[in-house]
Amino acid sequence: MAMVYLTRRETFCASHRLHNPELSDEENRDIFGKCNHIHGHGHNYVVEVTVSGSIDPRTGMVMNLVDLKHLIHESIMAPMDHKNLDLDVEEFRDEGRISTTENLSIVIWERIQRLMGSVLSSSSVRLFEVKIWETEKNIVVYRG
């Protein structure tokens, strides 16, 4: 059966500070530059979530877009939009992850994976990719 990829794109705004508390202030400035500013900085992130699977002959869809929109809302938009990633997102606040876009893509992947089982009735649908544009020039792709 044919494998089809379905992608939904959203935009969210969030602030963060690239900083490793295990390093000195000088080391942090050397590594992260202006992104280490004490008050942080923000981005208008663009995120694409892609799922893959076979087409359900009953619905003609890989996945209902309403369900994909719900997954994105619960795992990205509600907890991250107009938030400070370092202060408001537990994986960065409590687990000490540095809020790079690389780590953000993994956090989003993990959050969506946790929710997929409770939302999807089909076990053939898989999370394929999380792609994040931090800027027009800086893009991160994570495929689990």
Q: Which are the catalytic amino acids?
A: 35, 82, 134
Strand pairing report for 139-142 and 126-133: antiparallel
Q: Token pair 């080391």 is at which residue?
A: 27
Strand pairing report for 41-53 and 83-84: unpaired
Under a CB-based contact definition with an 8 Å cutoff, are residues 80 and 129 in contact?
no
**Cα(89)–Cα(99) distance, rounded to whole angstroms?**
10
Q: For the sheet containing 83-84, what is the strand order?
A: 83-84, 4-16, 41-53, 126-133, 139-142
